């Protein structure tokens, strides 16, 4: 055993010079046991890489086509620009983590700002893509919603008219003495057809309103599930859609970047352990 041989790990270093041979041998055994226990699982590392690239690729797809929709005048140029920036973002995040100690404050600040800015740009692109898809699907929804509001207003107006006619009939009947049976009957014969006509119109409108609600939730309308979610939460449909999109973009691209950093960390640990193993041989 060489006198200057050292045990290297993530947290400590021990020089054998000041240790008895029995202690050094014991530490050597502990070292091998620890590194054997900490040996990384390559399949898991590859899974982390695959997951990060899959999420990053999906986010890049949404972002690229979302940004190209915002700048339709330079469609292909925007696709090329956004695609190269997406790749550069992942490489920069990995590089920054690997060489954090090597870079000075200027490089750290710039790389970190660039990565965060690109994450925001990607999120904006994703928002543009998803919101545009919702707008296309919501055209038919808006038509049904406008019709529904109009029918509801008609029902409300007719309900007020019916209530007014019933009150007026009650007042007319009460204005006659009890022995004026014929006059009361004539008053009812005069008002009841009007009340029945209004009630019939209300029932027809309610049936129409039911059909509109059924069409809103029909499978041919892409945003039908959104309508159900909005009603469950008692929220406006547009607000619900925006809320869901914001939740998605808050975890979408940041998760891809963090997985890339996690993969970089796992590979660094793997390489370090391989170097330590070579030194032992």
Of 4-13, 58-67, 75-84, 212-221, the least confident: 4-13
CA 128/CA 71 separation, integer angstroms? 11
Confidence of residue 33 (pLDDT cuts 50, 70, 90): low
Q: State the Cα angle at 91 between 258 and 69, rounded to 5°.
A: 85
239: closest CA among 229, 248, 249?
Answer: 229
Whether residue 10 is predicted with pLDDT greater than 60 in this model: the reply is: no
Residues 121-150: what's their mean pLDDT? 85
CA 231/CA 159 separation, integer angstroms? 25
What does the pLDDT look like over 90-124, one tens digit per residue? 999 999 999 998 999 999 999 999 999 999 999 99
CA 47/CA 105 separation, integer angstroms? 33
- Residue pair 90/257 in contact (Cβ under 8 Å)? The answer is yes
Q: For residue 259, what pLDDT is reported? A: 93
Whether residue 1 is predicted with pLDDT greater than 60 in this model: the reply is: no
């Amino acid at each position: 055993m060489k006198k200057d041989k050292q045990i290297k790990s993530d947290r400590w270093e021990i020089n054998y010079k000041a240790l008895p041979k029995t202690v050094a041998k014991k530490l050597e055994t502990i070292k091998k046991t620890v590194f054997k226990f900490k040996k990384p699982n390559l399949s898991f590392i590859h899974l982390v890489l695959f997951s990060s690239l899959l999420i990053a690729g999906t986010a890049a797809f949404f972002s690229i086509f979302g940004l190209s929709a915002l700048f339709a005048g330079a469609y292909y140029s925007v696709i090329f620009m956004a695609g190269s920036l997406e790749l550069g973002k992942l490489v920069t995040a990995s590089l920054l983590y690997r060489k954090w100690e090597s870079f000075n404050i200027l490089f750290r600040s710039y790389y970190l700002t660039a990565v965060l800015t690109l994450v925001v740009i990607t999120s904006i692109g994703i928002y543009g893509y998803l919101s545009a898809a919702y707008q296309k699907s919501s055209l038919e929804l808006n038509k049904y919603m406008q019709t529904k509001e109009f029918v509801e207003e008609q029902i409300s107006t007719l309900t007020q008219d019916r209530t007014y006619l019933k009150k007026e009939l009650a007042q007319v009947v009460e204005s006659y003495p009890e022995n004026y049976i014929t006059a009361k009957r004539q008053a009812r014969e005069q008002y009841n057809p009007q009340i029945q006509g209004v009630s019939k119109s209300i029932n027809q409108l309610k049936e129409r309103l039911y059909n509109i609600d059924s069409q809103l939730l029909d499978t041919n309308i892409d945003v039908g599930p959104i309508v159900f979610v909005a009603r469950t939460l008692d929220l406006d449909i547009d607000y619900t859609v925006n809320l869901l999109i914001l939740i998605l973009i808050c975890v979408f691209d940041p998760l891809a970047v963090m997985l890339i950093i996690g993969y970089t960390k796992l590979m660094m640990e793997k390489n370090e352990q391989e170097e330590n193993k070579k030194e032992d041989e």
